[in-house]
Amino acid sequence: MDRPFSKETVSRVLDELGIKDIAHATIRQTVAVAAKLEQMTGEKFVHLEMGSPGLPANRIGTEAQKRALDAGVASQYPNIAGIAPLKANASRFVKAFIDIDISPEGCVPTVGSMMGTFASIILCCNLDPSKDTILFLEPGFSVQPLQVDILGFKRKGFDIYSCRGERLRDSLESILREGNVAGILYSNPNNPSWVCLTEEELGYIGRLATQYDAIVIEDLAYLGMDFRKDLGKPFMPPYQATVARYTDNYMLMLSASKIFSYAGERLSTVAISDRLFHRKYDNLVRRFGIGELGNAFIYVILYALSSGVSHSAQYALAAMYEAACEGRLDFVNDTSEYARRAKILKGIFINNGFHIVYDKDLDEAVSDGFFFTIGRDGYTGDALVSELLHYGIASISLSTTGSHQQGIRVCTSMVDEESFKALDERLALFNSNN
């Protein structure tokens, strides 16, 4: 049978948008291609490409933000370091769900974790003139390497697919011993593979970061979403796994977009260890006139990037942190909807001849969650992205994430009940044509 979206139609849209190869397009470009095809044909796409939350924004946040607006904060610049209620509740939230002690002064709001990582990369690569490289544990969020490239710093990385346990330690040290790594960046759970680094592996990362004096930028965008464990009880184990138990050289990224489905307000918290926050660097004095890391981060880098975060949104995040700590907001239970969708989607793909690419955390099956990875024998990831586009399925190739494996990233967030049926029908047609 003919594919729902003809080669001619797809080619015309790609030409109009100036995209030579959909497999190498950015996520936002892929969204634009799918939207254009939907507009031209009236046929709805199955959207697996965009990691935008698919749940309603938490009402505790929206109500607190309304009250703040009614109180007149929209006319006032916010404190660039963060308003006091946010900093205090962020500190408490980190203790409640990660079991790490960080002072309120080290909990700093940023305009999403995108800005948090961007600012952290700038900071790390200005601490020591001999260290100008960010090391990525791949695969990862494709924009973060782009941030390094935009800033003109260097980057290295390796695919953790076959580097788990002690092999992760060995691969990491082989690069760190070169002496030029300023920061180590990864997400946990991982975007896109959804593998979760173990406490043993995080111990290796933390101890090596201390030994080679590198800063770990740990992206906890999907905090609590290893749904194999109940991570949603405040101040009770088990807690979110983190490198912060094994080193003082860490900066944690906490994303309100995913944790509380508050993506529209572009809001996150960077939580910096107390010892690192107060550490002084001669090169920061030379470069920016401020030697203490935390103050340089806030009053130089964040000041230059945005001069603060939406005032009313900070009240929203403060309220959500407070409610989570008090057990009035079960954000882990809310986001477990993604695990339900992942289980259904994996079944549809597997029943139609596909396989999970990153399928194991050592000897345990990966958790169901926000992302997973799919492959098809006989197809590269790039070819699969291109082919599935003709069947009204939008995705991104693992090649854009730093992965050396062949397959695509599947995001569960924008898939509804109607999409499950459409995906099954289109993959069945794909099978009949292949």
- The CATH number of the domain holding residue 363 is 3.90.1150.100
Where on the phi/psi map is residue 392: left (φ > 0), alpha (ψ -120 to 50), or beta?
left
Do 51 and 27 meet the contact criterion of CB atoms below 8 Å apart? yes
pLDDT at 64: 98
**The pair of three-digit structure tokens given for residue 303, joined into one six-digit string:** 């000041």
Range scoring the smallest mean pLDDT among 30-34, 103-107, 391-395, 402-406: 30-34
pLDDT of 419 higher than 80: yes
In a domain, 402, yes or no: yes
Over the stretch 81-124, which tens digit does the pLDDT of each residue have?
Answer: 999 999 999 999 999 999 999 999 999 999 999 999 999 999 99
In a domain, 311, yes or no: yes
Q: Are residues 64 and 155 in the same domain?
A: yes
Q: Are residues 279 and 352 in the same domain?
A: no
CATH of the domain at 72: 3.40.640.10
Q: Of residues 273 and 36, which shows the higher confidence score?
A: 273
pLDDT at 6: 79
Determine how many CB atoms are found less than 10 A away from the CB of residue 43: 11
Of 299, 325, 351, which closes a domain? Answer: 325
In a domain, 92, yes or no: yes
Q: Are residues 283 and 352 in the same domain?
A: no
AA identity, residue 240: Q
In a domain, 1, yes or no: no
Q: Are residues 176 and 308 in the same domain?
A: yes
Of 290, 325, 360, which closes a domain? Answer: 325
Q: Of residues 393 and 3, which shows the higher confidence score?
A: 393
- Please give the Cα distance from 281 to 293 (Å, whole number): 7
pLDDT at 87: 98
In a domain, 187, yes or no: yes
User: E strands of 243-319, at which residues?
Assistant: 250-255, 268-272
Q: Are residues 104 and 227 in the same domain?
A: yes
Domain that holds residue 87: 59-325
Half-sphere exposure (Cβ direction) of 372: Cα atoms closer than 13 Å: 29
Q: Are residues 180 and 284 in the same domain?
A: yes
User: E strands of 247-335, at which residues?
Assistant: 250-255, 268-272
Nearest to 5 by CA among 26, 29, 35, 50: 35
pLDDT, average across residues 258-262? 96
pTM for the model: 0.94
Average pLDDT, the chain: 94
Do 217 and 251 meet the contact criterion of CB atoms below 8 Å apart? yes
In a domain, 84, yes or no: yes
Over the stretch 314-334, which tens digit does the pLDDT of each residue have?
Answer: 999 999 999 999 999 999 999
Range scoring the smallest mean pLDDT among 29-33, 191-195, 216-220: 29-33
Half-sphere exposure (Cβ direction) of 39: Cα atoms closer than 13 Å: 7
Domain count, the chain: 2
**The pair of three-digit structure tokens given for residue 320, joined into one six-digit string:** 């959500």
In a domain, 320, yes or no: yes
pLDDT, average across residues 366-370? 96
Q: Are residues 173 and 200 in the same domain?
A: yes
Of 325, 352, 386, which closes a domain? Answer: 325
pLDDT at 210: 98
Q: Are residues 157 and 277 in the same domain?
A: yes
Q: Are residues 339 and 272 in the same domain?
A: no
Q: Which long-range contacts (CB under 8 A, 24 or more apart) does 321-325 make?
A: 321/86, 321/89, 321/90, 321/92, 321/93, 322/85, 322/89, 322/92, 323/60, 324/93, 324/96, 324/97, 324/234, 325/89, 325/92, 325/93, 325/96, 325/234, 325/235
Nearest to 156 by CA among 130, 128, 188, 181: 181
pLDDT of 23 higher than 80: no
Nearest to 61 by CA among 201, 261, 211, 360: 261
292, β-bridge pairs: 280
Percentage of residues of the chain with pLDDT beyond 70: 100
State the residue for tokens 């607006």: 69
Q: Are residues 290 and 418 in the same domain?
A: no
User: Given the DSSP bridges, would you call strands 360-361 and 364-365 parallel, antiparallel or unpaired?
Assistant: antiparallel
In a domain, 2, yes or no: no
Q: DSSP states of 280-291 as a string? A: B-HHHHHHHS--
Q: What are the distances in angstroms from CA 175 to CA 94, 134, 136, 166, 251?
A: 31, 11, 11, 15, 21
pLDDT at 1: 60
Q: Are residues 283 and 425 in the same domain?
A: no
Q: Are residues 285 and 344 in the same domain?
A: no
